[in-house]
Amino acid sequence: MNHGRARRPPTIPEPSPSEPKGHTLSSFQELPRWPQLTDDDIEAAVAALCSNRLVGQGNSTVQEFEAALAAGQGVEHAVAVSTGTAAVHLALHVLDVGPGDEVIVPAHTFIGSASPVVYLGARPVFADVTPDTHCLDPGSVKSLITDRTKAIVVVHINGIAADMAALTAVAAEAGVPVVEDAAQALGTEIGGRPIGGFGDLACVSLFEQKVITSGGEGGAVLTDNPDYAARLRRLRSHGEGPIEGRPGMIWAHEVGYNYRLTSVQAAIGLAQHKRLGEMVEARRRNAARLSERLAGVEGLELPVEPEGTTHAFWKYAVRVAPGGGRRPAGEIAADLRSRGVPVLLRYPFPLHKQPAFAGHEGISLPVAERLSQELLALPSHPGLTEGHLDHIAHEVRRAVAVTV
């Protein structure tokens, strides 16, 4: 039995005469998907395969990729690993995170930012995010620091730069190291400087959906600290390394992992990395077009770009404000998906509300909780044309204007 208020059928508005021309609702059977590998990527992969040097600590293709990543992000060392989650795991491992420790992580992020805390036997402490950037809120972090806080994981969500000045100040005051989770943020800058060197370590994901990929999976840890870099290299390969005074011999200095990136992955990553600048520019151009087309839509909050920063627009996240007779963001997303526009609620379950982190569900993180019901991620990848973007914007305008 329906005890709720009777719902009127939705009213579907006609496209307004000011809508951009050049498309119809049926113009696009399916929008282009991401990633889009090029001939260069494929040739690089084949060349790496033909080299017969597929893995190994001294692999020259992996080293070349690491050098390109480090130079691109303005850090001394990049250590390539098998996934972004492995990167977070190793970054926390070299900070000696372990049982009894707490690590502060935003509740509004992908689970890979937090699960490595649990791998290490430590406790994630979920913090709230700011309503405008959706990145870690320095005030929330400050309130959660205890004697047991061993690290803070700062996520540049969707490619928006977190407030590193405020966050590193809070961390420094408490003497706690900072790990930048830059999984979504290759191309993001603060004051003209690429992210990756603002904390003690930074983590990159090269998963297929990310800004660049190393052929499906991949990641890297960035740091200026040579001791961390040496330990990271050892840990990604079973903890093995040279024995002092025993040339040519290696043994396991500590228990590590098999988190190596292969040369084929590194070759694809390297080929993609050469196009990083142009790909980020394309994302920014696409975001600007979406913003132009979505400006003034009632109830829709468009993404911000904090002053002095560069947003990489891995995702174009818009907030649907409740009220005004609008449908909830989840219904709008479902409507858009049913019409071929791949839009997701972002993230529909804050980490502290998920079964994997049972025991945390009682805490209150109002912004992360609110965003989980209101934030939509629209595509902005370089494979989209102006026509596609206009189509997406048109569909969003239509879907948001439907009232109940």
| Sites of contact with ligand PLP (CB under 6 A) | 83-85, 88, 109-110, 112-113, 155, 181, 183-184, 205, 207, 219
- Between 110 and 228, whose beta carbon lies closer to ligand PLP? 110
- Between 140 and 214, whose beta carbon lies closer to ligand PLP? 214
Q: What does the alpha-carbon distance between residue 347 and residue 317 come to, in Å, rounded to a whole number? A: 11
Whether the CB-CB separation of 235 and 94 falls below 8 Å is answered with yes
Task: Tell the smallest beta-carbon distance from residue 195 to ligand PLP (Å).
Answer: 12
- Between 70 and 135, whose beta carbon lies closer to ligand PLP? 135
Task: Tell the smallest beta-carbon distance from residue 179 to ligand PLP (Å).
Answer: 10
Residue whose Cβ sits closest to ligand PLP: 84
Calculate ∠ Cα 318-321-325, nearest 5°. 130
Instruction: Report the run of H or E that residue 115 belongs to, with start and end.
Output: helix 115-119
- Between 91 and 400, whose beta carbon lies closer to ligand PLP? 91
Task: Tell the smallest beta-carbon distance from residue 298 to ligand PLP (Å).
Answer: 31
- Between 122 and 400, whose beta carbon lies closer to ligand PLP? 122
- Between 113 and 309, whose beta carbon lies closer to ligand PLP? 113
Task: Tell the smallest beta-carbon distance from residue 354 to ligand PLP (Å).
Answer: 15
- Between 300 and 351, whose beta carbon lies closer to ligand PLP? 351
Q: What does the alpha-carbon distance between residue 249 and residue 242 come to, in Å, rounded to a whole number? A: 6
278 burial type by CB count under 10 A (0-12 exposed, 13-18 middle, 19+ buried):
exposed
Task: Tell the smallest beta-carbon distance from residue 364 to ligand PLP (Å).
Answer: 23
Place of tokens 């009632």: 298
Task: Tell the smallest beta-carbon distance from residue 109 to ligand PLP (Å).
Answer: 5
When computed from its CA atoms, the radius of gyration of the chain, rounded to whole angstroms, is 22
Q: What does the alpha-carbon distance between residue 184 and residue 186 come to, in Å, rounded to a whole number? A: 6
Q: What does the alpha-carbon distance between residue 222 and residue 200 come to, in Å, rounded to a whole number? A: 9
Task: Tell the smallest beta-carbon distance from residue 91 to ligand PLP (Å).
Answer: 11
DSSP character string of 267-319:
HHHHHHHTTHHHHHHHHHHHHHHHHHHHTT-TTEEPPP--TTEE---SSEEEE
